[in-house]
Structure 1
Amino acid sequence: MVELRRGGVNLLIRPLERKDLKDVHGVRNEQDTMAYWFEEPYESYDELEELYNEHIHDTHERRFVIEEAGEFAGVVELVDIDYIPRTCEIQVIVLSKFRGRKLAQKAMESALEHAFYILNMHKVFLYVDTVNKSAIHVYKKLGFQLEGTMKEQFYARGSYRDCYFMGILKHDFMRDRQHK
C-alpha cells in the first residue's frame, strides 16, 4: 500500500480487494474507457467475480486500486508477469472525473516501483493507441521509450487501430529516479 500526498492530493495505491469489484465492473463496462485497453466493454458482474476468485493467488498479475481522498479513481495493473525474462505489461485507467490531476502518472510510477524494486522485473512494457497523445505524453514523462508501431493490432471503436509498443528498463527507471 502506497500513500502519496503531494500538492494537497491524497492519493492511495493499494491492492485490489473484493469490495472494489463493483467499481471495477463499472469501469470495465464503459465503452470509451475500454477502447483504450482494446477490450470489449462487456462483462457481467458474475464473470468479474469469478475471474477475481480464479486469479486471487495468481503470481502473474498484480492489480491495484487508485483512490483519491478515499474515493475510487481507477486501477493500475501489472499483468502477464513473466519471471524468466523478468518482464510484464502495465495498464492504467483513471475515471474521467479524475483525469487531469496526474493520478495516472503517479499511480504508474508507484506500480513501476513495485515492478522493479519488489518483483525485480527487468522491463515493463505497454501498448497504446497511436492517437492517444495525452497517454503517450505521460508514458514518455515516466521514461518509456517507443520501441515500435504495431499496424492494425487491435480492433476498437469500429476499426482496426495501430498502437505503439513502449517499454522501460529497470536501470533506466532507477537512473531517472536518481536525477530527480
Structure 2
Amino acid sequence: MRDTLHLRPLEKEDLEFIYKMRTNPNVMDYWCDEPYTTMDKLRKSYEAGHDSDSHRQFILYHSKEKVGYLGLFDIDARHRNAEFAIMIDPAQQGKGYATDATRLIVEYGFNQLNLRKLFLFVVNINEKAVHIYQKVGFQMEGELKKHFFVDGSYHDASIMSLFREDYVN
C-alpha cells in the first residue's frame, strides 16, 4: 500500500477537509483538543503559518483520495528535532494508512530536513496509535500522569520519540 500513498503540502483548498476532522469530537479527543474551530480561524491560522519554517503540514493521499493530515511541528533547526502529529479521516480509519503515513513523514523529517529526533504525545488509552508508533520504531520516553482530559476524565499520556540512528525502514 505504501506505494499508493503520497504526501502533498497543505494548500488553502484543503482547509475544508481539515475542518471536518477538527470539528469531529472523536478525532479531536485524541489530538487532546476540543472539537471547536471555525473556517475563518482555520484560514487565519493557515495564512499566518504559510511562510513559517517551523512546521511542515501535509495532506495524505491514497491514489487520488484525501485520507489524512499530518505534519512536523515546532521544527527546531538548532537541536534538529520536531513534534510529529497525524490525523486520519474517520471514514478512512482501519485501512492501514497510519503506519505507512508515519513512515513517510519520518523519512521526510530525517532525509529532507536532516532532523535527528522526532517526538510525539499520545494518550495511553489510544492503544492503536501507541501500537502503530512502536511498529515504526518510536519508543516510550516518558509518561505524563493524568495529563489530558478526554471524554470526561483525565488520562495518562506518553512522550514517544524516534532517533534517526534507530530508524529502520
Please, which moves more after superposition, 109-118 or 66-75? 66-75
Q: Which amino acid is the alignment partner of residue 80 of structure 2?
A: R
Please provide the CA RMSD for this pair: 1.3
Q: Provide Cα deviations, 1:106-156, integer angstroms capped at 9, x if missing partner.
A: 111111111111111111001111111111111011000011111122222
Q: Determine the C-alpha separation between the residues in 1 that align with 2:111 and 2:117.
A: 12
Q: Provide Cα deviations, 1:26-53, integer angstroms capped at 9, x if missing partner.
A: 1100001011010111000000000000
1:142 corresponds in structure 2 to: 136
Q: Determine the C-alpha separation between the residues in 1 that align with 2:154 and 2:95.
A: 30
Matches of residues 2-151 of structure 1 in structure 2 within 5 Å? 4-5=2-3, 10-151=4-145
Q: Which amino acid is the alignment partner of residue 81 of structure 1?
A: I
Q: Determine the C-alpha separation between the residues in 2 that align with 1:159 and 1:66.
A: 31
Please report how far the alpha carbon of residue 88 of structure 1 lies from its aligned counterpart in structure 2 after TM superposition.
0.6
1:164 corresponds in structure 2 to: 158
Please, which moves more after superposition, 114-123 or 66-75? 66-75
Identity of aligned residues (%): 33
Unaligned runs of 5+ in 1: none
Q: Determine the C-alpha separation between the residues in 2 that align with 1:75 and 1:136.
A: 18
User: TM-score, normalising length from structure 2?
Assistant: 0.95
Unaligned runs of 5+ in 2: none
Please report how far the alpha carbon of residue 4 of structure 1 lies from its aligned counterpart in structure 2 after TM superposition.
4.4
Q: Determine the C-alpha separation between the residues in 1 that align with 2:146 and 2:76.
A: 25
Task: Check whether the contact 2:125–2:155 (CA below 8 A) recurs between aligned residues.
Answer: no
